[in-house]
Each structure stands twice: as structure tokens, then as C-alpha cells.
Structure 1
């Protein structure tokens, strides 16, 4: 939805919500989406990230990255992608003053910044002692959807719309079918448009195939990680038992006695005995 040139209003409203909640930018009225064929990138990175690159009417470069699972390298990864987007503005012979503000917005489907309970955190370059801002050219946002509890917003939908332009979008991203979101949709035209676009996408065969492919990749990777972790634990336990058995044999404890005291059989213990 954010990467569709058919619905630029959706991306504009979302970005105004992100920046408006922090009071850092003038209102965005237009965007140019620079990678409308984002589905081509999915084959290389199905299980982790999906990003939308855009330039706003005030020449700000924005990269919205959606992370479905924790890769445990988010900070360095974010700085790397931010630097690539920042550097991409320069061509051979260009002056440095051509560089425009570059922003990375990370939307995470997992909790990452465990030092606080805020669902939206923004980082910029500052002087450590005085908090003086060095430059506004760099800005990095972390938005953590699991930190939102939609139950606490029931009955407060009108207040949400009036006080926080970002929160309706995050609730929508977390659960577009929730009762809270349905009420809010009636008050925000762009959010209603997003819901309609999502409905169309849900019935699109190609979009469904891509979605299911991504889900399968995620489940497969989780299974692989769990399987590898189980093997590592079992291997570690095995190595520990073998060390104990060697110590017992060195100290003169008989094979039959060791069989009774461990989970190993006589043949396994005899094999270990040969290694001493």
C-alpha cells in the first residue's frame, strides 16, 4: 500500500503522522515513490525486510523498512541502508550542499528497543553533553508494533484521531480488522482508502501468492533456527556426558557401573574408553 503510485495519499498521510508526532517537519503534500516494483526484491529477502523508498516535495529522502522478524543486527543494518540512501544523492562532481535530509523509518513486528516502552523512538545526531543538534540531515525512526495494545484505545477513538496522527496507522498495520480501527477509519479518509486497497489486494491472486510465499519463508526459517538450536543443545549435552564418562573411567569406575549411572550403553562407553 505504501509503495503504490496509485495511492500516494496513503504514504503522504502516514509520513505526516510519523513526522507530525515529533513535530520535526513541515507538512508533506507530495511524494515520488522510487521503487514501485518492490515485489521484485522479495525473492532475495522474503523472510526479513520490505522497503519503500520515496522523495517528498521538500526533497527529503525517505526509506520505510518493514521488518517481520528480528535479525539481531538492526542498528548496523539501519545505519548501512541509511548511508547508502544518503550517498546515492551524489553524482561525480556534485557539491556536498546537494545532500538532502535522509530518513529511515523502521516498522518492526517485534520488540527491539527494550530500554523503554515507547512504540515510536526517533534518533538524530547530537552533542553528548549539551544536546546540541549537529545536523538535521540524519534521522532514524524505530516503530515497534508489539508495544501497542489496542484494547487500551477502545472507546477513545475520537481522541486518537485528534491527538495523534500516527497512532491510527500503527493500529491499522498491527490489526486492520480490529474494532478500534474500524471506528477510526470512518474519520480518516486516507485510512479508509488504505483499508479499501488492502481489501483489493487480499483478492489479488499474485499478491496472495507473494504473501503466502513470504509466510512460508518465515515459518521455514523459524523451524530451521529451532532445529539448529535443538541440535546444538543435544550436542552440548552429549559432549558433557562424554567428558564425565572419561573422568569416571580414568578414576577406575567400571563400564557396567557407568552404564547404570548414565544414558549411554556399553558399546558407547567402550568407544569412549578407546579415546582415552
Structure 2
């Protein structure tokens, strides 16, 4: 058997969790993440197309969209690289999902609870927990305004060794971290949905066409990450150059102030000192006072 594909790659994740053939996988993951009072029993998965154009477009989002039996709209996105804008990005996509439910003239009452789930393969938030969920709350009493908006962040690297695998979300993150680990081998023996996800991953990994598409997507994302790293490097370089320039300017200013003080002690007039040092008259007056 060939090595398994990485389930954290958005192309693979979408094929496993966004598949109409195995909706139980997504249902299990959503119940594990949201822990609703009334369990989700069915999902209608949207945008299942994975054409070549999407895969080769580094700006495309291979996320999983669905509506649930609890009358919710869900969007799941997985990110391998920190783009430093996940909060604003998530709020933007949440607002689009929420507002696009209404056509002109329709009543606000038909708007559904809208949830964005961000799975990150990097540490991002200040919290130590690997899973954080946010809603709209009153800033003093913490009273909830509405549960219509909910945004989750799952930070894979924050999952600690020895976490309780009876928690289904922990089990799913273990699968995403390393589907070939002993932990996952044990989990798939007792949890049907984990076994189904592993079987689908094995099927994809042994399918030459799927592996070729995976390699295409991996190259596209690698190019995107390289572009981000280059932009980051240039930004740091520019920042360093600016810092050096500002440092030199501060050094020159300090030297000019020292010369001005000496000229004041010599009894020279303000205009002469200003002309010699390049300092403003107001700056020289401060030194005199």
C-alpha cells in the first residue's frame, strides 16, 4: 500500500468530510465540535464539485458547506499556513453566508443559525485550549444576545498528549494529525465513523487519479505558501531598513542637540544655532528653558 495522503490537505479533507456518500462522517464531526443539545441527525452537503480549475487555483477555498437537521448553515475550512488574518477572514465569510440567505424583500425571520469552523494546523489564538468557540455576548454581563452567530477555531498543534480520546473531537483531531498512528488504529476499531474516514483515505491514497490531483493541489498550496513567505520576508526586510534609517535619524538628532547645548553655553544666538544644527527655533528654546 502507498503511503496515506495527508487528511489535513483541504482537497483530501473535503473528499472525506464533504462527501455525500458518507454523510455520517460529517455528522459525527459536527456533533463532536458543536456538542448540540439536540444531536444533528442529517446533513445536506453543498458545493461537492472538485474540478481541476478549483484545485489549481491557489485562491480557491476547498471548504465544506452543509445545512443540518437543526436548521443551521455550516462552513468548515482547514488551513495549513498562518495567513495572519483568520479572525477577520472568518467573520467576512460568516457574514456572506448569513446575508446570502435572504433575497430582496424576504423576511429576516427565515435567517438560519450560521456557524463557521476553522481547523488550523498552527497555533493562532492566545488561549491554551485546542478548541475555542465564540458567540455574540453582552460585554458586561456575558448574557448571550443570540446564538445565530458562532465561530469555532480548532488548533491542531494545541492538542495535548494524553487528551481524552473518548471525546469525539479529540478522536477526530488525532485522525487529522496522524491517521496511521496506533491511537487511530485503536479508534477505528471501536468508532464506525473513524473507520469510514480511514477507509476513504486509503481508497483515495491508492487511486492514481486522486493522488495526481492531490499532488497538483499540494504544489498549488506550496506556491501560495512560498509567495506568502516571500511577502513576509520582504515586509521584515523593509521593516528592518526603516528601523535602521530611523535609528540613524535619532542618532543625528541626538548629536545636533548636544552641539546646540554647547553653542548655548558659548552664548551664541538662537538663529545661528538653528542654522548650524538644523534644529527648529522651538527645539532650541526648549533647551534654553
Compute the TM-score of the two structures, normalised by the length of structure 1.
0.75
- Give the match's secondary structure for 2:211: helix
Match of 1:269 in 2: none
Match of 1:144 in 2: 155
Structure 2's unaligned 5+ residue stretches are: 1-15, 252-289
Instruction: Give the drift of 1:123.
Output: 0.3
CA radius of gyration, larger in: 2
**Number of residue pairs matched?**
232
C-alpha change, 1:231 and 1:191, in structure 2 (3 Å) is closer
C-alpha change, 1:49 and 1:112, in structure 2 (3 Å) is farther
C-alpha change, 1:73 and 1:208, in structure 2 (3 Å) is same
The yes-or-no answer on 1:42 pairing with 2:55 is yes
- Give the match's secondary structure for 1:160: coil
Which residue of 67, 75, 87 maps to 1:75?
Answer: 87
Which residue of 127, 130, 145 maps to 1:119?
Answer: 130
- Give the match's secondary structure for 2:33: helix
In 2, Cα distance between equivalents of 1:137 and 1:183: 37
Cα root mean square deviation, aligned: 2.7
- Give the match's secondary structure for 2:154: strand
In 2, Cα distance between equivalents of 1:96 and 1:12: 27
C-alpha change, 1:93 and 1:182, in structure 2 (3 Å) is same
The yes-or-no answer on 1:88 pairing with 2:100 is yes
1:1-276 mapped onto 2 (5 Å cutoff): 1-20=16-35, 24-39=36-51, 41-45=54-58, 49-113=61-125, 115-149=126-160, 151-153=161-163, 160-161=165-166, 164-227=167-230
Structure 1's unaligned 5+ residue stretches are: 154-158, 248-276
| 1:45-74 Cα shifts (integer Å, max 9, x gaps) | 36x853110000121000011112111111
Compute the TM-score of the two structures, normalised by the length of structure 2.
0.72
